[in-house]
Amino acid sequence: GGTSNLGQDATTYGLNLVYRLNERPRLLFGAQLGQTRRYLPQNDASLALGWTYQIYRAIGITGWYRYRNLTNLDPTVQTGAYRSRGCDLELTFNFR
């Protein structure tokens, strides 16, 4: 916000779901929609599907497939917009 020429208004909505298949494996889903207005306006959308497995107590392994689409809405800007997709493999630690 603000009154500066560089002020931005940003809004983001997110959703994360976890479904426990059994004692150790889980399915994961994440979605995020965001927008920035005023200076350098953009739309941002991403989806993620994952699977995680608890190896031992607080240690797990997680695989993700992610998709993201970032769109510029300013007709004078020709850079910064992109689409990406890919897979990640993560070793996770849960400290409680």
Per residue in 33-59, pLDDT (tens digit) is 999 988 889 999 999 999 999 999 889
Q: Is the overall model pTM greater than 0.85, yes or no?
A: no
> Rounded to whole angstroms, how far apart are CA atoms 82 and 38?
20
Residue 80 pLDDT greater than 90, yes or no: no
> Rounded to whole angstroms, how far apart are CA atoms 48 and 65?
6
